[in-house]
Structure 1
Amino acid sequence: MYLSDLGKLALGSRLKALSDHFYGAVDEVYQARGARIESRWMPVLRYLSDTGPSAVTEVAEAIGQTHSAVSQLADKLVRAGMLRRRRDPADGRRSVLQLTDKARSALAELGPLWCAVRRGVSASLGEEAERLLEALGACEEALRQRPIAAAMLAEHDAIMATPVDIVPFAPALREHFYRLNAQWLERYFRIEEIDQAVLRDPERYVLEPGGAIFFARLGEEVIGTCALLQESPGVYELTKMGVDETFHGLGAGRRLLDAAIAEFRRRKGTTLFLESNSRLKPALGMYERAGFRMQPAMRPDSHYERADVYMIYEGAPAASGQTPGTKGRGRRRAA
């Protein structure tokens, strides 16, 4: 499932999909048995049945919905003949929601259906139903203790205040060379045999032949990588560039690209080229801005099945003018 692959980023979307699934199932049961309410009405109607006439604010707080959502639903229930609005006898300045006789009659018929819903949830989900309810309770309490929007904003401030560092290869970083490239290769294409060899043994296939590997770090997190592969004396390939999708937009790709170009110049290289794919338009745009120019034909001895773009660096100045090990901001993929 696509949303599950997004992890915490899609938590709200997955919960909504699950909520819609439960609402739809209960509505199907209600309709099949001739119930006169909809599943989404139940929290408001049940609360008013249990506590008596209440203001919209009180209902919203009790069922965990916004004032606006409850007010809109109340308007719908008034039109359906399930609620009426009346002045609060204790405070004439506010109105309260009250069940109608039609609503009380409809709710009175639902006892066996609600029992069936409870049993059906248990039959379908088994022990997962209890674990889900416990997890929901724990999440609700955690959110009361620390609102999630405030936590997200604080984390974003921390991310944006942390500079991107470019560092050279170290054995402890080897796994990130594979991880970061596998991420985009598996999403857009596949990991080819040559990729497997280079990514699993970068010392042998990149460093020993005279190449270099760079990593982008954000604090303690390794968020990007690229390699400068020496094809022959003075001829280098920019390759294996990938930035963790979670950290796109911080300029890590361009910082890596600038570092590779700076290293190519330091070595007094004569030719710097890359192979890529026309699907990766943001990356191609970044390469062009850095001084790479599209070639009319593919390189005759291309290593990659996926490559349909061949670009050569024509010497435009690097954007940041910084070298590996410096800090700054500044995206992303070469084959």
Structure 2
Amino acid sequence: MDALQGFGELGMGSRLKRLSEHMMRESQLVYDEFNIDFDPYLFPTFKIIKNKNGVTNTEINNSLKTSQPATTQVINKLLKKELIILKEDKTDKRKKIVYLSKKGKDLVKNISPIWNSIEQIIKEYTTITSNSLIEHLNILEEKFNQKRFSDAIIEHIKMNTEKNNLEIVTYQDSYAKNFYDLNIEWLKTYFYVEPYDEEVLSNPDKYIINKDGHIFFAKLNNEIVGTVALMPMDKNNEFELTKMAVSPKHRGHKIGQQLMQNCIDFAREKNYDKLILYSNKILENAIYIYRKYGFIEIPMEKNSPYKRGDIKMKLKIQ
């Protein structure tokens, strides 16, 4: 058993310190992976200097709420790495103004995509519903145990910086197994497979394609990595956006959002009236994205096709 977790609120300070050190170590692994000579502990001061066109030690202290000795120590390390330069203040020669050096400016260009990915992954890991900070930390640490923080960041960076040929393609019989496998994996990961799921996923032609529905796939470097369907509903010209799934190793790279945008664009081209979707409120990231794309919550019917569904949303196309 984790002793610090057992201490409850009394172990709060130690938990936060351990979490901070863990994230610093993992961030260092990311920098090392991409041959970036940078220390995560230097980040706050370096970011302040980067954002200011000249800044004093005192201004850094006031911004970060750190001590003068701590700031001086970081400044000395940045000087040793030749990432900053010091200039005399024009009005008070006793003051030293800190600027990025050319090497520091070059580092910013190389490291910014990494910072963007770190920020994105932190958002994904920390989007949690909890009743207390301790519960929040418990869930967060469990997420770190399920997938290393550094691995998630590295995957995100590679997906967003390397050349990827992602294209959205339409259904072919040869993709039927991909449609089944991607959705079954997703359901087993987050919920369970209902009989209705098994029936539809096993017979996409019968329940979707032959009823004037559509299935789209995200194809990345000749590999099917995601899918989504538009399934006709009882009401004329309304379609259910359903069966969206992305392979585990490609999650967190906005592939699902690209599939969704494709469906919305397609619905507009076809002059559909509405798109409907069913979801579950525990999928907070997904609900956030649905709202971002304009879906609004509507009342759930009594005889919902999905037992796990507790939220119904619609997007008016016309």
Which structure's CA Rg is the greater one?
1
